[in-house]
Structure 1
Amino acid sequence: MSSTVLVTGGSGFLGLHTIIQLLERGERVRTTVRSPAKEIAVRETLARAGVDAEDRLAFVVADLLSDDGWPDAVAGAERVLHVASPFPAGTPAHEDDLIVPAREGTLRVLRAARDAGARRVVVTSSSAAIGHDREPGDHLFTEADWTDPAADVGAYIRSKTLAERAAWEFVEHEGGGLELAVVNPGAIFGPVLAPDLSASIGLVAGLLNGAMAGGVPRLAFSVVDVRDVADLHLRAMDSAAAAGERFIAASGDAIWLADAARLLRERLGDAAAEVPATEIPDDAIRAAAANDPSLERIAREVGKLRHLSSEKARGVLGWAPRTTEEAIMATAESLLRLDSAV
């Protein structure tokens, strides 16, 4: 393969899996990390996963809030996969704590890529940018649907929507010949490689470790395996048909958290002894959120089942993801292995 592929946020859940797939197909990879210590952690994680990076993986220290390091990061990279993005466990003190890194960080990467002569950037957005201001009803959401960032949707959803909107506007007005493709994943599950857990993985961990012993909220979400999200990024990077397009990444229809809990109890036996079998009423969640800001994001979403279509990714790019059940079980089994190893 020609040239280097830049992956931003190489120490993250999706970043690690993306790097692995690139290395496995023989690419030269450069990735950004926020500190030199992160390079050590990434190399150790890859070694535990049995991945031999040889001399084909390089690191650059760069942060989404600073211009420092980005010219070195993009130098000689014709293809850029911008997967780095903040996703806090709770509600931020101020929404700009999320919006500024997401929006300005995306623009910083795009400017650096354009200035370095990159050919294509694939940006990781989110299903949060797909019609989250609307009551779902029976609507089948597609890439034609957008969240209205002016609506009362919460900081995280607003940040993802504004960041993606900014990316499309930049490429249209200032991108020169830069091509853009966007991936909009649902909740990303799958094999955990390191103990620093993403928010989605934290849901499964909370089911297994008894943190939700009082019951689960009536949350529903579209699931996708991290390996399939990484694969879709590579397809969007390679395919001429992906330029100027966004692609929803979802394994199938949305699943209720209670159904995910039931799956774990059925498949894991004694290892799922702490997994709750009861649901918390929506009104109880909303009442609790009135006194606990960390529950605000959950309270907004209880009782809502959104139907996402991934037919575009399947039809245009030949994407064939694992099932929702496979993604959830891969998450749980890897968490159990990780827990037994530490």
Structure 2
Amino acid sequence: MKNKETVLVTGGSGFIACYCMITLLNNGYKVKATLRSLKKSELVKKMLQEGGIHSFEDLSFAEADLLDEKSWERAAEGCQYVIHTASPTPHTDAETEDDFVTPAKNGLLFVMRAAKKAGVKRVVLTSAFGAVSYGTIKNTPYTEEDWTIINDTVFPYQRSKTISEKAAWDFIKNEGNGMELSVVNPTTVMGPVLSEDYAHSIQIIRQMLNGEMRGCPKLITGYVDVRDVADLHYKALTMAEANGQRFIAVGGEALSMLEVAQVLRKNLGKVADKTPTKELPNWVIRLLAVFNPKIKMIVPHLGLVKRASSEKAKTLLGWKPRSAEEAILATAESLIRFNQI
């Protein structure tokens, strides 16, 4: 066991990153996690403990910033694999195109160059469904063949995911020199939170249960459990069949926001009394968007159906995700446990 391979996991304090680290450590890999500040290392350990990790002898940390190329060269030293999850998210203070796209694309290229220099065998990139389904309208489920078409309806976050994923494929094609790449494109990520600091996607459930969301926007999209997203990353990292492929992560059928609220009401009793019971007209959402930039992000997608297929991951890699309902309830139960409701 002394010859354990080391996986660099970027954005080590993130929701998906923590679950990837749990999966890797449980499967006998060493993990080097990058953080913008090493001050967060104790929080990460606490989250990993919440996820069932009790020994940290195979875990180390490196300080790295998406704007500092040299920091990635230092971080990648001694690593055989990379899972790159670090990217600006809608939960940050980033607002403009440059706030999202520049660090996402440049940071991605810094990581790819550092990985190549370190002799890394394979990089797994955490992209997003935002790189698959925006700027287009489709009646059938989106697949890995689909790409977001960047136009005026596509917001900076989705632009950043699309541009950086394309940059990764271009790098492998033109400069990879034998290094391998796999990509995971998760839909809306749910699942058990590991601390009071959680992913932006979890806010939907918290707002519903706390009565902050009085009515549901007309949005229909896919959901996936973070534990299954981590499992798909692990398969994308370790299976030969995953090389050169992208994989959509979705747990079954797409749900409307109202259906999500109904799942909570049906299963959680009085805790879910404040969840919304009706959909809001699109004009109300548009009006609210004038005053709230976060709401503004969803306006171009009102009324659209964002169905996705994970058939490729199931067939090629034997991936078996939980249902969307299971993922949603696991999210709610963990928020209750952390006194967030």
Whether the TM-score (by the shorter chain) exceeds 0.5 is yes
Residue 202 (structure 2) aligns with? 201
Q: CA deviation at 1:151?
A: 4.9
Residue 145 (structure 1) aligns with? 146
Alignment partner of 1:77: what SS? coil
Q: Does 1:43 align with 2:53?
A: no
The answer to which of 264-273 and 68-77 deviates more is 68-77
Q: Quick one: distance in 1 between partners of 2:221 and 2:325?
A: 13
**Matched ranges for 1:103-252 at <5 A:** 103-136=105-138, 138-212=139-213, 214-252=214-252
CA contact (8 A) 1:90 1:295 kept: no
Report the AA paired with residue 168 of structure 1.
W
Q: Normalising by the residue count of structure 1, what TM-score does the alignment of the two structures yield?
A: 0.95
Residue 279 (structure 1) aligns with? 279
Report the AA paired with residue 78 of structure 2.
G
**CA distance 1:270–1:300, change in 2 (3 Å):** same
**CA distance 1:239–1:146, change in 2 (3 Å):** same
Q: Quick one: distance in 1 between partners of 2:179 and 2:157?
A: 27
Write out per-residue CA displacement over residues 221-279 of structure 1, whole angstroms, 9 at most, x where no aligned residue.
21010000000001010111111110111111211111010110111011112211121
**Matched ranges for 1:57-96 at <5 A:** 57-89=59-91, 92-96=94-98
CA contact (8 A) 1:250 1:308 kept: yes
CA contact (8 A) 1:79 1:119 kept: yes
Q: Normalising by the residue count of structure 2, what TM-score does the alignment of the two structures yield?
A: 0.95
Alignment partner of 1:140: what SS? coil
The answer to which of 159-168 and 126-135 deviates more is 126-135
Q: CA deviation at 1:287?
A: 2.7
The runs of 4+ residues in structure 1 deviating greater than 4 Å are none
Q: Quick one: distance in 2 between partners of 1:231 and 1:49?
A: 14
CA contact (8 A) 1:91 1:297 kept: no
Report the AA paired with residue 66 of structure 2.
L
Report the AA paired with residue 155 of structure 1.
P
Q: CA deviation at 1:293?
A: 3.0
Q: CA deviation at 1:189?
A: 0.4
Q: CA deviation at 1:150?
A: 4.1
Q: CA deviation at 1:71?
A: 1.9
CA contact (8 A) 1:149 1:162 kept: no
Task: Return the match for 2:101 from 95, 99, 102.
Answer: 99
The answer to which of 33-42 and 279-288 deviates more is 279-288
Q: CA deviation at 1:92?
A: 4.0
Q: CA deviation at 1:91?
A: 8.2
- Sequence identity percentage: 45
Residue 338 (structure 1) aligns with? 338
CA contact (8 A) 1:86 1:101 kept: yes
Alignment partner of 1:241: what SS? helix
The count of residues paired between Structure 1 and Structure 2 equals 339
The answer to which of 47-56 and 246-255 deviates more is 47-56
Q: Quick one: distance in 2 between partners of 1:303 and 1:115?
A: 46
Write out per-residue CA displacement over residues 7-58 of structure 1, whole angstroms, 9 at most, x where no aligned residue.
1111110111111111111211111011121101111222333312331000
Residue 6 (structure 1) aligns with? 8
Alignment partner of 2:8: what SS? strand
Q: Quick one: distance in 2 between partners of 1:10 and 1:297?
A: 26
Alignment partner of 1:147: what SS? coil
CA contact (8 A) 2:220 2:307 kept: no
Alignment partner of 1:216: what SS? coil
Alignment partner of 1:308: what SS? coil
Write out per-residue CA displacement over residues 177-230 of structure 1, whole angstroms, 9 at most, x where no aligned residue.
110110011001001001112111011111111211x21211222101000000
* Structure 2 residue runs without a partner (length 5+): none
Q: Quick one: distance in 2 between partners of 1:81 and 1:49?
A: 19
Write out per-residue CA displacement over residues 93-141 of structure 1, whole angstroms, 9 at most, x where no aligned residue.
31110111211111111110001100100000011111311123x2221
**CA distance 1:54–1:93, change in 2 (3 Å):** closer
RMSD after superposition: 1.6
Q: CA deviation at 1:295?
A: 1.8
Q: Quick one: distance in 1 between partners of 2:147 and 2:71?
A: 33
